[in-house]
Amino acid sequence: MSDLKTQITEQMKDAMRAKDKARLGTIRLILADIKRIEVDERIELDDARVLQVLDKMVKQRRDSIAQYLAAERPELADKEQQELEVIKTFLPQPLSDEEINAILDDAIATTGASSMADMGKVMGVVKPKIQGRADMGVVSKLVKAKL
């Protein structure tokens, strides 16, 4: 079992002991999503793949919050925000803007990218390095600006 998955399972047990229903519910959602992928693909997820699952869940929560606020449903947006905060506790420390720019500059130099046609190559190099540590939408915009 991956270290991150083990950590999430331990946090679930702690939330059960503390009777923290909100945190427990969110952690169960995370583990259910991980388990669904493992069953569907008949594999054991490693830390990188668990990070992808968490990243997807963060993106879903952000989208939901925006939609709920647009629909003037702040109580539902608050619930999504609480879930987002719990999910973020399992993600690695976010990268600073300087670190992201350094990774992007290195990737552009490594791939020899010179135009937008090379964006896929750059993103292919960058994504494994920043998965779970930065918003991929923001990174994509930065790559477009640099190319």
| pLDDT > 70: percent of the chain | 100
Can you give the pLDDT at residue 11?
97
pTM equals 0.82
The residue among 93, 82, 92 whose CA lies nearest residue 23 is 82
Q: Beta-carbon neighbour count of residue 21 at 10 Å?
A: 10
Residue 17: which pLDDT band, with cuts at 50, 70 and 90?
A: very high
| pLDDT > 90: percent of the chain | 74
> Average pLDDT of 28-44?
96
Q: Is the pLDDT of residue 106 over 80?
A: yes
CA distances from 111 to 42, 94, 128 (A): 34, 24, 15
